[in-house]
Amino acid sequence: MPGVRPVGSKRGHAHNLPSPEEARRTSWRVSLALLVCFLVTLPALHTILQGFGWWFAMAGTVLAVLGAAALARVLSVRRWVPAISGSLVLLALITLFFSGRSAFLFVIPTFESFGVFGDLGQAGAASIAGQSVPADVTLGIAFLLCLGVGVLAIAADFLAVSRRLPALAALPLAVILAIPPFIGIELSDVFVFLLAAIAWLVLLRAGQPFPQTGRAIGLGASALIVALLVPIALPRVDDSLASGDSFGGYLAGVNPVLSLGNDLRRELPRTILTYSTLSGAPTYLRLVSLQNFTAETWAPDPPEIDRDNVPSRVGPPPGLSADVRVEDETTWVDVQNLGSPWLPVPYPATLVSGLSGDWFWNAKDLTFTSPNRAARGEVYKAQSLQVEPTPAQLTAAGRVVPEEYSAYLALPDGMPPIIAAEAEQVTAAATSDYGKAVALQEFFRNGAFTYSETAPVDEGYDGTGMEVLAKFLDVRSGYCIHFASAMAVMARTLGIPSRVAVGFLPGDKQVATVDGRTQYRVTTLNVHTWPELYFEGIGWTRFEPTPGRGFVPTYADEATPGVPTPPAPSAAPTPTPTPTVAPPRSAAPVDPTGSAADAARQSAALGWLWAALVVFGVLILLLIPAMVRGVQRAIRLRRLARGAPLVSTGWRELMQSATDLAVGVSGTATPRDAASVIAASAGLRADDQAVLDRVLERVERESFSRTAPAGAGIERADQVRRILQSMRSATGWRTRMAATIAPRSIWRRVTGVSRGD
Amino acid sequence: MAQATDSVDFASFHALTGKILRGVETVIDGKREAVELALTTVLAEGHLLIEDVPGVGKTMLAKALARSIDCTVSRIQFTPDLLPSDVTGVSVFNQGRGEFEFKRGPVFANLVIGDEINRASPKTQSALLESMEEGQVSVDGVTYPLARPFTVVATQNPVEMEGTYPLPEAQRDRFMVRISMGYPDDLAELAMLKRRELSSPLDALTPVVSLQQLSDMIAMVRGIYVSEAVEQYAVSIAQETRRDRELRLGASPRATLHLVRAAKARAALDGREFVLPDDIDALAVPVLGHRLIASARVAGAGSAFQSNSLADIIHRIVAATPVPLGAGASA
């Protein structure tokens, strides 16, 4: 192996070099132990994934990859061959399973296959972003799982078998174990953790040519303790993402629906923004609207930025005709803590001024997005309209749905029948779409529904997918997101275009005033969603189905004269009339993959943040040995410079660095032998050789002569530094890198294994 | 020639040993290591066993060494019919004086060359070996001390040669160092041919060291410093040989003593006033090799094979024994 160098006279007879036969048997043993490690570690994901089919898929992938690497090891002694072979098998495997049709001979990927992979990856990311735990394993998620575990298996095989550092195989395994606590510490399964730890100990033992059980158990126990402590010590991801101090604030990223429940359940409300209005009346502030309803979730459109849509000239509210009464309103907003790429504004805004970043509005829903910054820190003035249609106008709007609004009627296939049936029954008595909308709102507000932020989580139906809604209609308990999405979906089944708005309730009135205007404070408790229904001639109108939250707009309030009073839900059942117009299924068929891909694009920002965090954590872990060695070196050289014996400082450092740099210095070599090995492997120049000779002479005198010679410590420290420098520069960059990141001396001490490698 | 002095300093020690080595090397071509080991043994007051096939210069080495030193030299050719009294001496009746008088045998010399020692009967062998160990000869109840310094350089053929009595372990243990000459390489052999064409180079050899100087040098070697770390190292190696599963007989305490004494001489020859573990390493095979007995599993039919594998075992033990690095005798 490249790491072995010609060694001094003593090394030729070292007896602890495993024979090739023994090494081969050890490598099979380690491969097998590694497989077991993966098999018992994978169940850690059971808290976040539904079913168990994924385990077989992932286990099969690991088996194939490790098997390919082990076979390659039989055929070649080169260290990279098993990793390459494992990668090829992984590629062939995912090609076969995920894009067999577009592949050549089923396993050789074509350009098209890579396109399929890209789509699957995006779809998988979107599913992950769009689902709550435990998540359904969609094809995209399965793809990501197999690819991910395959890559981890290759890494683990390379570390544990090729590099013969079985202890390091804990890193890839820890990645798997870290996923559930990453999402929530309560999701980690201690039993699986223990099993994985035991399997890892077995791996450690399997990897030792001369097993030392006691040491391995001691090591394993300490590793276990560290592993249990680290997740506790590390900041939780959602905390750090949501705390706003470092990562941007609340409702950051992806699909704002997802973190909403967590924000609502937060015990200590945190201020997001403050605002005041010209009229002094409180107002809803809207961030974004969700148009796309898939089987799994409501999702916003991908952000489209039209740079002509500057906030100083906001386009007309869609669908609003001139004969509807409007009033002007001005709102001053001070955003303190909000990581969202959307700006909280009242709907419909006509002009926003005072913004410091680049913000552009979207013509479809008048939301404001920035391509490059979050809303945090913006202080601005928003002018908006208060649309006050009369019930008569709303009733008159009829049920004309313009062509461009047909997308707001799209429903996924396979909707649970309860949703449409319930909608029909609730609105049976209503005569107009407006009446039906009011009936739906009343059904939720005054019916048998209760508001609960925890029930959906406890009962396992948190989220916005259609299965969740069906469950919600059955259990009749939930929070704003359930009410808003249920009403929006039911409106769609009735043929009324709808969408879900995400934003904030008006918040709490403050005692203090600003410029004589009443201040309102919006906190994490005021995060809210509500449905918006479209009526031709009036535009998007807000409804408030969540019981006990916010306020119902005048035009939807039963107290307002002219607003149709829906019959009580318990009224004698009237024969359900067949709808006169069948609710149009999506005019433009909604491609779940397509909209998921959109969501994936939005999730990119958060995804990168997560990835960066993980990479950062791994980097820190990887740097620990390097830091230990660096500190050790500094301390020794300083002690040497201050006159400590060379033997216990500089010489020890030289020996340890030689070990790190894979210079084959035996632990039992005499100083003279060690020096000649170093000189031979580093190819020292004549002047450096002279320096090494002086260092050696001093070491010998210190250790073996009657009196140690006097001399300046600082000079000796410089000599040691110079030899270290020459040794490093004489080795290849890979060896240097390995010496820095994974110093053999440390691992050897940790694992107690001394190898000829 | 330098006059006798009370002590020898390093420079003159080095000069004298250099002269001896150069002189001997004019006779023995290309065997620097063997010559150095021989000189090491003489300086450490040990006895030297040269073992090899006939005709490689065993006796020549012994003679050359003897010639270089201005001391009494005797040579005993061991044969199967040699008697103990032929070695030690014999009491004969002096009729003129009417009493027994002791006729000193060849063992009464500073340097005794015992040629082909394994051809003599065990009885005769032990007569020599006893005097080697005790430094004296007892005949008819009278003890006669031998000369000081006293070194026996014995040669022997490998035991599988015909008509030999292999030395028993107990007697091999008395030799400090066993060396094997080995065949010269082609260049050295060619040089030897050229040199021997006209005359024997042995004749041209003159003593370069007086007896007094040799004694002083031996005294100086005795004063070489051995740190505790090195002593510990030597002891560890000896202990390991006793524990090793591949060895039936390990190193005796006398072996450890010889190892350290030889290491002192090697350090002095190297110009050092202290012993390094490297000295121990270098001398482990020559000092221990002839004393150890491999277990049946390792021991082969022939001694050549056996000594090879013994050397391997010693190398392995030495390689596996950690070198203690003390923080020095004085910080």
Q: What ipTM score was computed for the predicted complex, to two decimals?
A: 0.82
Q: Is A347 a residue whose pLDDT tops 80?
A: yes
Q: What is the C-alpha separation between A50 and A135, in angstroms, rounded?
A: 6
Kindly state which CATH superfamily the domain B1-80+108-222 is placed in: P-loop containing nucleotide triphosphate hydrolases (3.40.50.300)
A469, A473, A478, A483: CA torsion to nearest 10: 70
Q: Write out pLDDT tens, residues A405-429.
A: 888 888 888 888 888 888 888 888 8
Fold of B224-321: Helicase, Ruva Protein; domain 3 (1.10.8)
A668 CB neighbours in chain B (<8 A) are 319-323
Q: Which of A15-29, A326-340, A525-539 has the lowest mean pLDDT?
A: A15-29
In the structure, what pLDDT confidence band is assigned to residue A13 with cuts at 50, 70 and 90?
very low
For position B301, what pLDDT does the model report?
38
- Tell me how far the alpha carbon of residue A85 is from its chain's centroid: 30
In the structure, what pLDDT confidence band is assigned to residue A64 with cuts at 50, 70 and 90?
very high
Q: Write out pLDDT tens, residues A577-600.
A: 444 343 443 333 334 444 444 455
Task: Provide mean pLDDT across the span B159-175.
Answer: 77
Q: Which of A272-286, A342-356, A445-459, B309-323 has the lowest mean pLDDT?
A: A445-459
A contact set with B (CB within 8 A): 9-16, 645, 647-648, 651, 666-673, 699-708
A16 CB neighbours in chain B (<8 A) are 320
CATH code 1.20.120 region(s) in chain A: 609-751
Give the number of C-alpha atoms closer than 13 A to the C-alpha of residue B7, restricted to the C-beta side. 7
**How is residue A345 written in tokens?**
């504004």
Interface of B with A in 266-295 (CB under 8 A): 272-278, 281
Q: Write out pLDDT tens, residues A600-658.
A: 554 555 666 667 667 777 777 777 777 788 888 888 888 888 888 888 888 888 888 88
Tell me if B328 and A9 make a contact (CB, 8 A cut-off). no
For position A494, what pLDDT does the model report?
87
Tell me if B229 and A704 make a contact (CB, 8 A cut-off). yes
Q: How confident is the prediction for chain A on average, in pLDDT?
A: 77
- Tell me how far the alpha carbon of residue A590 is from its chain's centroid: 27
For position B262, what pLDDT does the model report?
95
A17, A21, A26, A31: CA torsion to nearest 10: 140
CATH code 3.40.50.300 region(s) in chain B: 1-80+108-222
- Higher local confidence (pLDDT), A272 or A223: A272
Tell me if A666 and B230 make a contact (CB, 8 A cut-off). no
Task: Provide mean pLDDT across the span B19-32.
Answer: 85
% of residues, chain B, pLDDT over 70: 91
A477-478 and A450-451 as β-strands: parallel, antiparallel, unpaired?
Answer: parallel
Interface of B with A in 201-230 (CB under 8 A): 225, 227, 229-230
For position A16, what pLDDT does the model report?
45
Cβ-based neighbours of A297, under 8 Å, separated by 6 or more: A130, A131, A255, A257, A463, A464, A465, A599
Task: Provide mean pLDDT across the span A204-210.
Answer: 67
Task: Provide mean pLDDT across the span A447-464.
Answer: 75
For position B283, what pLDDT does the model report?
93
For position A587, what pLDDT does the model report?
38
For position A46, what pLDDT does the model report?
85
Q: Is B331 a residue whose pLDDT tops 50?
A: no
Yes or no: say if A109 and A95 are a contact pair by the CB < 8 Å rule: yes
Q: Write out pLDDT tens, residues A481-500.
A: 888 888 888 888 888 889 98
Q: What is the C-alpha separation between A215 and A361, in angstroms, rounded?
A: 64
For position A9, what pLDDT does the model report?
39
% of residues, chain B, pLDDT over 90: 24
Closest CA to A210 of A628, A754, A667: A754
In the structure, what pLDDT confidence band is assigned to residue A228 with cuts at 50, 70 and 90?
low
In the structure, what pLDDT confidence band is assigned to residue A61 with cuts at 50, 70 and 90?
very high
% of residues, chain A, pLDDT over 90: 6
A699 CB neighbours in chain B (<8 A) are 325
For position A262, what pLDDT does the model report?
65
Cβ-based neighbours of B130, under 8 Å, separated by 6 or more: none
Closest CA to B306 of B290, B319, B287, B283: B290
Q: How confident is the prediction for chain B on average, in pLDDT?
A: 84
Does the pTM surpass 0.90? The reply is no
Q: Is A530 a residue whose pLDDT tops 70?
A: yes
- Higher local confidence (pLDDT), A359 or A135: A359
Give the number of C-alpha atoms closer than 13 A to the C-alpha of residue A711, restricted to the C-beta side. 22
8-state DSSP, A159:
I
For position B298, what pLDDT does the model report?
52
| Tokens 């995920």 found at | A98
| B305 interfacial to chain A (CB closer than 8 Å) | no
For position A563, what pLDDT does the model report?
74
| B231 interfacial to chain A (CB closer than 8 Å) | no
Q: Is B189 a residue whose pLDDT tops 50?
A: yes
A702 CB neighbours in chain B (<8 A) are 327-328
State the DSSP H helix or E strand holding residue B198, giving kind and residue range, or none if neither.
Answer: none
Does the structural domain A609-751 have CATH classification 1.20.58? no
Yes or no: say if B86 and B142 are a contact pair by the CB < 8 Å rule: no
Q: Write out pLDDT tens, residues A67-113.
A: 999 888 888 777 788 899 999 999 998 888 888 777 787 788 888 88
For position A230, what pLDDT does the model report?
56
In the structure, what pLDDT confidence band is assigned to residue A359 with cuts at 50, 70 and 90?
confident
For position A266, what pLDDT does the model report?
62
Q: Write out pLDDT tens, residues B27-71.
A: 887 788 888 999 999 999 999 998 888 788 888 888 888 888 888
Q: Which of B273, B277, B330 lies nearest to residue A708, judging by beta carbons?
A: B330
CATH code 1.10.8.80 region(s) in chain B: 224-321
d(CA A628, nearest CA chain B) in Å:
24
For position A222, what pLDDT does the model report?
62
For position A75, what pLDDT does the model report?
80
Closest CA to B49 of B330, B299, B286: B286
Q: Write out pLDDT tens, residues B244-275.
A: 888 888 899 999 999 999 999 999 999 888 99
Q: Which of A240-254, A271-285, B8-22, B145-159 has the lowest mean pLDDT?
A: A240-254
For position B40, what pLDDT does the model report?
93
Which of helix, strand or coil describes residue A144?
helix
